[in-house]
Structure 1
Amino acid sequence: MKTVLCYGDSLTWGYDASNAGRHALEDRWPTLLQKALGVGVNVIAEGLNGRTTAYDDHLADCDRNGARVLPTVLHSHAPLDLIIFMLGSNDMKPIIHGTAFGAVKGIERLVRLVRRHDWPVETEEGPDILVVSPPPLCETANGAFAAMFAGGVEQSAMLASLYRDLADEVDCGFFDAGSVARTTPLDGVHLDAENTRAIGRGVEPVVRMMLGL
């Protein structure tokens, strides 16, 4: 049995911008990935609304710093064969960091945490890592989200090329979720059901190759 950890934010959790609720389980991209890979693979969805790559959100009522929480999550789900990181959208908030450069440095921090982790299983060699750039933000008439992510449309458009370069540098896999999915103009950040399903279908061949299936 292979185990895949999907470590992400609200795009992995399944936030539904149409009603501020949550997409049905069958519509979330980790579920689509699980279905495509079959019973020989266990796909774990570890999504948290507002999670950043490696930065504090002092307005949150939970710990959204992905770097601080990651070691605990790794211990909880070990042993792992593959970790998928799809984070960075929340780093686009000016109150968090506001730049694509900051998100790239955060992803780099996460990769290093995995590579240096003290695994609870002595034979654990450490999992492969797939870096996924989230779909870029888009313009929205939602005033609250437009203000929250001011400047994010331009900055998030840089994520795919920067993440690809980082993945090459640190020897990770890469997938551009923006190649198969688009954010909804309802809030400019999240995905409708069809677009979150599209990520699960789109990433499956890359995951299959990295797992040697």
Structure 2
Amino acid sequence: MSLIKLTIKGISYSQTQSGAYALVLSEVEGTRTLPIIIGAFEAQSIAIALEKEIKPPRPLTHDLFKTFADRFFINVKQVIIHKLVDGVFFSSLLCERDGVEEVIDTRTSDAIALAVRFQAPIFTYENILDKAGIYLKIEEELSDDEDEDDEDEFELTFDDEDDDVFTQMSLSELQEQLNEAVANEDYELAARIRDEISKRS
């Protein structure tokens, strides 16, 4: 079976499971998306790794794994989502050290969090996309001037009515709130503040 390359489309609150998030992966060369329900910690870890502006004051668990792997010259070459059983996705990390490759079983959410940190490609099989993939409607509103760098962008959405408070703040106040949120390791709040700052740029 041939492998199909995926990219991270976005992360949002799960509409079906309270306290969970939906990680949405999409085909690099196609219109199908693969939604995967993940926990809040893993969603936060993936979002932090994708962010360019938010740096945690202390390493998260996946950051620690990356540092450990780098120290001992272990590289994660790719992630493969290889099985789907009763709605649960199973994944593997293909790792390499001194020219020797090893396959390690992992939860899909952890695999994606590590893939982002190692800049490793994410793959799945056609039969998994056939079973769990959703066709994405191509929207005409997508700007024509998007360049290749845009594939690294993602969307992290929250259903929080308190965001109106941020619209009343100045840029300097928002930056102060952002720094405080990061210091407190409240990355969900930091992401919302970041989005408000980005709107004004």
Task: Indicate the structure with greater strand content.
Answer: 2
Look at both structures and tell me which one has the larger radius of gyration over its CA atoms. 2
TM-score normalized with structure 2 length:
0.27
TM-score normalized with structure 1 length:
0.26
